[in-house]
Homo-oligomer: A and B are copies of this chain.
Amino acid sequence: MSIAELDLTQLKWDSAGLIPAIVQHNETNEILMMAWMNEESLRRTFQSKQTWFWSRSRQEFWNKGATSGNVQHVHEVLVDCDQDALVVKVIPEGPACHTGEWTCFYRNLAP
């Protein structure tokens, strides 16, 4: 992956300059989490090959795993037909969720 190949202007950023990023395990296809990226966090993701997001609550960048060690190594980034959502395929070093669960989607809404 090369930053030079990216044409970020083709993406449809929302009114806050964000796009939803669905993080998926590259091998099992399990959905690990969903977070938000702005243009700069997407650039950082490509440059570092680790996931970088924009925290809407804290209004700051966050590199997933920077404190916990559970970084996500990025293999590829897919974009959908109308260019308003991303799938980031990763190999994670550990759990995605702050609760310690492997995926943030560990609960059934109506079990």
When the two chains form the complex, which single residue of B20, B28, B77, B101 contacts A110, counting CB atoms closer than 8 Å? B77
* Size of the chain A interface, CB-CB below 8 angstroms: 37
- Docked-complex contact B1 and A110, CB < 8 angstroms: yes
When the two chains form the complex, which single residue of B3, B78, B99, B109 contacts A105, counting CB atoms closer than 8 Å? B78
Minimal beta-carbon separation of A33 from chain B (angstroms): 7
A87 within 8 Å of B (CB atoms): yes
A111 within 8 Å of B (CB atoms): yes
Q: Would you mind naming 27 contact pairs between A and B with Cβ atoms under 8 Å apart? A: A1-B110, A6-B109, A6-B110, A20-B20, A22-B22, A22-B34, A29-B31, A31-B31, A31-B87, A34-B80, A34-B85, A76-B108, A76-B109, A77-B108, A77-B110, A78-B105, A78-B106, A78-B107, A78-B109, A79-B108, A80-B104, A80-B105, A81-B104, A81-B106, A82-B104, A85-B105, A86-B109
